[in-house]
A and B are shown apart, each in its own frame.
Chain A
Amino acid sequence: MQDTILKIEHISKFYPGVTALNDVSFEIKKGEVRALCGENGAGKSTLIKCIMGVEKPDEGKISMNYDGKWIVNTSALEAQEHGVYANYQNVNIAPDLSIAENYFLGRQPTKGGIVDWRGMTEESKKIIDKFGMNIDPNEKIRDLPIAMQAMVTISKISVNDDIRIVIFDEPTALLENEKVETLFKFIKELKEKGVSIIYISHRMEEIMDICDSVTVLKDGTYVDTKPISEVDKDSLITMMVGRKMSDIYNIKHQSFDEEVLRVENFSDTKHFKDVSFSLKKGEILGFFGLVGAGRSEVMKALFGAEKRLSGDVYVHGEKKKITSPTDAMKNGICFLTEDRRADGLALQLSIKTNINMNSYDMISKNGVISLSKEQKRAEKFSKDVNVKTPSVQQLVGNLSGGNQQKVVIAKLLCRDPEVMIFDEPTVGVDVGAKEEIYKIMESLTAQGKSIILISSYLPEVMGLSDRLIVMSQGRITGQFESNELKLLREEDVLRSASMEG
């Protein structure tokens, strides 16, 4: 079992102005689950692209032990032919094809030259059952929730016969806990078959759970590789960021009593029913739930982006009519969406435009924009949230995940809102940027702003919230006050989250 399967030797990769990888060397053994850690921009994605043959390293060599022969994969196709598969960070499947078609893309089973649809559906059903997904194999990917799409891409790997190396890039970023378990079971199963795994995640607990060893990259250079038994969460973070961070959720909380927002009896046709809650000034109100619990839907309805059947919104005790995002923003409510790349940012536009995007009414007169104000506000707010960029003319698509998220926050701040809804604000964001986002939240509440925090990551939502509301199947199934939160165990929250609604 202890043969080396992958040898990475002195790999360097240069992009214009950036050294993505600098003389990185390490090896991976057969049947080993290796965590690859590092902040965003540490070079993990580039390294994976090199392993997959998608990118060619400028220096060095990556070779693979293929039945005793050392070979180099020069294209993604070649890598796949040799049993190397990757599950990329951004879901990459054909959205308009069905689940079954995606599973068998390019390798459809045929009967006499004609695609064997029934066989394909049956095979797909088996995979779906194995991964506990409870979906129809003929459903189109586009119609699935994003968490389910992520699960499909993961389960797609199991369709292949000759699997030797599998790379998971942030596979759990979009998954709820129960599915994470399924994924781990799959990884263990692969490992038993002698498959080597490279596992990338920002979640330390996961790495401790399932990996045998960990390799840390920092700023494109190799830091160290250690057996998992020799590291703990803190020492890992220290290796990654170069400093110690004992508790990143430790932020200052405000005392509060004045109610800013009250939601009463929100219901729609299928996602949520009878949801009521109130939010106080300076409070961080956490919302936890499994995927499909209806948290995001409630918030979208509150923001006026989705329709609701019934329910009222009170701002400072006064009933308000909110039926569009414009109404919501006029009443001081802003929304940071779950999927920043799709709904939150215009990736091919500049930081400047993105920051000002929802507040042009505030810097224009009769529809004419004040360019100087636009520039000034972009500079001020990007500085306030510490967006790392040489200029606000930079295109948002060129920024790292953490910096993109900070641009979204800056965009909300532009409206000087009283209530900010953060839907999964730290998905796909590295530890350093996460901590910065938490600090921003801290300073916002200190200024008297209130935050509704939706997160599927329990330590985060439990660690940051003043109060926690748990939803399941569209209803509120649990509420925990601040004095209870400190003693709360994750199991208690999970129990509420999996209650029948």
Chain B
Amino acid sequence: MSNTIKSGNSKLGGVFKQTEFTLAAIIILLFIIASVFTNNFFSLYNITNLTKQCAIVGVLAVAQTMIIITGGIDISCGAIAGLSCMVMALLQRDTGTNFWITLLIAVAVGIFCGFINGVIIYDLKVPPMIATLGVQTIVSGVVKIISNALTVSGLDQRILDMGNMSFFGVLPALALIWFIVAVAIFLVLKYLVFGRSLYIIGSGVEVAKLSGIKVRKMFYSVYAFAGLLYGIAGIMLAARVQSALPTGGEGYEMNAIAAAVIGGASLSGGRGSIVGTVLGTILMMLINNAGVQFGLNTHVLELTSGVLIVFAVAADMFKNRKKA
């Protein structure tokens, strides 16, 4: 009876909010369990550390959410952040470039790489997964070439300070940046025509075209905009590690994608929310952090994250199936 109105108010809308509610409940539960049963979890040091751990993945996940909403995926996010980080570090160590200019260049590198993603995906018609996998590999190569595969230290003092700075002793600067980015993108999705267009494109490119949405421009912009956020994540990465690693950002893409999907973003496009993604990020990181406090092997934790991802995607597909 697919063609009858389902009971009550938007049933899927309900499930959608339910995802966020469920996530919040699990997070609180885990938090309490970890606080009660371990000695070190509920300490100021650990909690601020946890938010710092979340921050970089969190920014990438927010960017990823925009892309997943369009029905795409971006595997190159970690690598691009790594490149932004490395370019900035090299400029700061080896040249006398103005500090603020180095930050701008880091962000510009991200925008440029994202734009390239958009061109490959829209104009060359390469599926997002493959296009961004290619770009990821290229970018990782570039990072190693320009750094001679060596760690670059000697960053500007302001970057080093940013990594250690906390407001009121509890809110790390990195976490603050994450929150600002999340709130900004939340507003973009809710209030801007740009945000609404992402959902429409994710529901069907043809539908979007016929509705007068300039799809090509949208593809360029969303990938470039995501690239901008990767640039910011790159700067945060430098601040957190206090140097630029030739492998910087590697592996972040899986956590970012997982956070978005656990938060309810649908890999088939048209669905996703920033609140969900933020909660998804916290849950992923909380499992790792609490797991370590419980003395669990990190490899076991990696395995747990994998299982979580598979379940989240399966749940999404189940929802889609029920709808069809």
| Chain A residues at the B interface, C-beta cutoff of 8 Å | 13, 15-18, 20, 40-41, 43, 45-46, 303, 305, 324-326, 329, 335, 337, 342-350, 353, 357-358, 360-361, 364, 367-369, 371, 388-391, 393-395, 397-401, 403, 411
Contacts and interface: CB of A to CB of B under 8 A. Distances in A.
B211 A45 contact: no
27 contacts: A16-B7, A18-B6, A20-B1, A20-B4, A41-B1, A41-B3, A41-B4, A45-B2, A303-B210, A305-B209, A325-B212, A346-B200, A347-B204, A348-B271, A353-B199, A361-B212, A367-B194, A369-B192, A371-B190, A389-B5, A394-B5, A394-B13, A398-B10, A398-B11, A398-B12, A399-B3, A399-B5
B192 to A, nearest CB: 5
Given A349-B203, A395-B13, A15 B1 contact: yes
Interface of B: 1-13, 190-194, 196-197, 199-200, 203-204, 206-207, 209-212, 214, 266, 270-271, 323-324
A367 B193 contact: yes
B271 A390 contact: no
Given A343-B204, A349-B270, A350-B13, A17 B210 contact: no
B5 A343 contact: no
B9 A390 contact: yes
A360 B197 CA distance: 9
Contacts of A40: 3
B7 A18 contact: yes
B145 to A, nearest CB: 39
A486 to B, nearest CB: 35
Contacts of B197: 360
Contacts of B4: 15, 18, 20, 41, 400
6 A-B pairs with least C-beta separation: A17-B7, A346-B203, A358-B211, A20-B1, A400-B3, A326-B212
B11 A325 contact: no
Contacts, number: 133
Contacts of B214: 326
Contacts of B193: 360-361, 364, 367-369
Given A305-B210, A337-B210, A367-B193, A346 B323 contact: no
Given A337-B210, A357-B211, A360-B196, A17 B204 contact: no
A389 B207 CA distance: 22
A350 B271 CA distance: 11
A221 to B, nearest CB: 14
A96 to B, nearest CB: 14
A433 to B, nearest CB: 11
A368 B204 CA distance: 23
Contacts of A353: 196, 199-200
B2 A358 contact: no
A45 B191 contact: no
A41 B13 CA distance: 22
B207 A346 contact: yes
Nearest to B6: A398
Given A16-B6, A345-B207, A346-B203, 6 more contacts: A20-B4, A342-B206, A368-B193, A394-B5, A397-B323, A411-B211
A403 B5 CA distance: 9
A259 B79 CA distance: 59
A168 to B, nearest CB: 17
B270 A346 contact: yes
Nearest to A361: B193
Contacts of B9: 390-391, 393-394
A443 to B, nearest CB: 24
A40 B2 CA distance: 10
B8 A350 contact: no
Contacts of A335: 210
A367 to B, nearest CB: 5
Nearest to A55: B1
B132 to A, nearest CB: 23
B255 to A, nearest CB: 26
Contacts of A403: 5
A43 B1 contact: yes
Contact of A390 (B5, B191, B270): B5
B203 A325 contact: no
A368 B7 contact: no
A369 B210 contact: no
B304 to A, nearest CB: 30
Contacts of A15: 1, 4, 6-7
B210 A325 contact: yes
Contacts of A371: 190-191
B183 to A, nearest CB: 16
Given A41-B1, A353-B200, A388-B5, A344 B13 contact: no
A353 B196 CA distance: 8
Nearest to B192: A367
Q: Which of B196, B210, B270 has the most CB of A within 10 A?
A: B210
A54 to B, nearest CB: 12
Nearest to B206: A343
A490 B5 CA distance: 37
Nearest to A303: B210
A345 B206 CA distance: 9
Contact of A346 (B1, B13, B199): B199
A343 B203 CA distance: 10
Contacts of A391: 9-10
Contacts of B190: 371
B196 A395 contact: no
Given A346-B199, A357-B200, A17 B3 contact: no
Contacts of B11: 16, 398
B203 A17 contact: no
Nearest to B205: A343
Contact of A368 (B1, B192, B270, B324): B192
B258 to A, nearest CB: 22
